[in-house]
Amino acid sequence: MKVSSQRLPESQVLLEIEVDTQQMERSLEKAHRRLAQRVEVPGFRKGKAPPSMLERHLGRPRIVQEALDILIPEAYNQAIEEQDIDAIDQPSIELVKDEPLAFKATVPVRPTVDLGDYQGLRVAREAVSIDESETDKALDELRHRYALHEPADRPVEIGDIVRADVRGVVDGREVYKEDDAEFRLREGATILLPGIVEGLIGAEKGTPKEIPITVPEGDRPLSGKSGTFTINVKEVKQEVLPELNDEFARGVGEGFASLDALRDRLRNDIRERVDAEFEEAYRDKTVGALVEQADKIEFPPVMIEREVERLIEDQARRLGQDVEQYLATVKQTRESLREQLLPVATERVRRSLALTQLAEREEIKAETEEVDAEVEKLVASSGQQAEQMRRLFGSPDGRTAIARSLITRKTMDRLAEIAGRDGTAAGGEKKVRKKAKSKVATK
């Protein structure tokens, strides 16, 4: 057998394989034996027809095709072993000649990643600042959570809680009906359809009010159609907010000594949340910078194809659907969705390869003790499902998944450490970390 190989772009190798006559003859003999067991030839018991009669009955092309089905995988496997090629997926086969066999195989091989001088990578951190209005907003939200709702003998106002019978007719058809529906009317909020909240303002108990609506353009079946929602208000409750003082603070969550203490806790909670958001954004930025400064990230197209399929399946799973149902829901063909997801999938592959290479260069591993600790942490937070989670994550596959997650996390930690070595935020401010505290409990 003759084999030549040629390195192609995008981490692929082209093999040109020519099979000698003896190998072809052996495969033809195997093909005769296999077909003789499956095909009935008039005048012969199954498996007993001689090759000449079998060939006359089926035709030479059918015999040759069976022989190629046997020989091509054998020849390909022999070729990649001889050439020491590390294939990562099935090859693309192009038949050149069938007798004797000659074919080309385009083989996807392991990616090539050269991160270059990644130790010199620097990414500035943005300075984190908290606007005091955020604390005021959090206090206001707490007041709403602890508000009393008292019956109001007046027309509906914004901020009220309304109980009503609702009937919606669009384009002459009843599209919505609910008795004793309850709505909380918030400024700028939408209930059912745009315009309904605004239309309810001024409605009186016991007097049905008709609100004209138009279904917004979009994916809805009645997009652009007009109709009327008839709402019969049965009860109106007004929101009575507690006064913002020390007494209010003492009744929130586990209780606070004063309003200032409550404000301090809220401010700290907001800072922790903002810090976490900034840190996540920073790490995402460092991965992007690592990819951009790499000297080479080359990989076969099949890796993008796999990632696209994974993205489609993930999107379908999030909606509790299979892929075909999901495609019907989003009104796209598989091909159009694949094209849409191609840039995202490409970037995800590039980032994954860069992080994997960084982990190898930095010799980052997940030790057995770390995996054990992570399993115990997951089990401890699983409540009544603890034993089920222990079986799941204690299995070899589960432990492997946890180890991968730990390696990714540790690699991101290391990358953030490298990229932020000067320790300063943009604008020269030092990044300050506060010890985490328990969050304010809600009512």
pLDDT in tens, 168-185: 999 888 989 999 999 899
Which of 3.10.50.30, 3.40.50.300, 3.40.50.620, 3.30.70.1350 would CATH assign to domain 148-240?
3.10.50.30
Q: Do domains 2-110 and 148-240 have the same CATH topology?
A: no
Task: Please compute the mean of the pLDDT values over residues 262-268 and round it to a whole number.
Answer: 95
The per-residue pLDDT for range 124-136, each reduced to its tens digit, is 998 888 889 999 9
pLDDT value at position 422? 72
pLDDT at residue 429 greater than cutoff 50: no
What is the arithmetic mean of pLDDT over 278-298?
A: 96
Q: How buried is 361 (Cβ within 10 angstroms: 0-12 exposed, 13-18 middle, 19+ buried)?
A: middle
Say how far apart CA 242 and CA 147 lie, in whole Å: 6
Contact at 8 Å (CB) between 129 and 271?
no
Q: Which of 70-79, 93-102, 285-294, 421-430 has the lowest mean pLDDT?
A: 421-430
Query: At residue 46, does pLDDT exceed 80?
Result: no
Per the DSSP assignment, residues forming a β-bridge with 6 are: 14
Quick one: pLDDT at residue 442? Answer: 44
Percent of the chain past pLDDT 90, that is, above it, reads 67
Instruction: For residue 377, give both structure tokens.
Output: 């942490």
The CATH architecture that domain 113-147+245-443 belongs to is: Orthogonal Bundle (1.10)
Q: What is the pLDDT of residue 213?
A: 92
- For the chain, domain boundaries: 2-110, 113-147+245-443, 148-240
Structure confidence at residue 40 as a pLDDT band (50, 70, 90): confident
Alpha-carbon gap, residue 323 to 33, rounded angstroms: 42
Average pLDDT over residues 247-264: 93
How far apart CA 47 and CA 69 sit, in angstroms, is: 20
- Report the alpha-carbon distance of residue 376 to residue 354 in Å, rounded: 30
Whether the per-residue pLDDT at 28 is higher than 70: the answer is: yes
DSSP state of 44: S
The reported pLDDT for the residue numbered 428 is 38
Query: pTM here?
Result: 0.73
- pLDDT tens digits, one per residue of 366-392: 999 999 999 999 888 888 888 888 888
Tell me how far apart the alpha carbons of residues 108 and 111 are, in angstroms, rounded to a whole number: 9
As a whole number of angstroms, the distance between CA 85 and CA 5 comes to 10
Q: How far is CA 302 from CA 107, 140, 296, in A?
A: 10, 53, 18
Q: Which fold has domain 2-110?
A: Alpha-Beta Plaits (3.30.70)
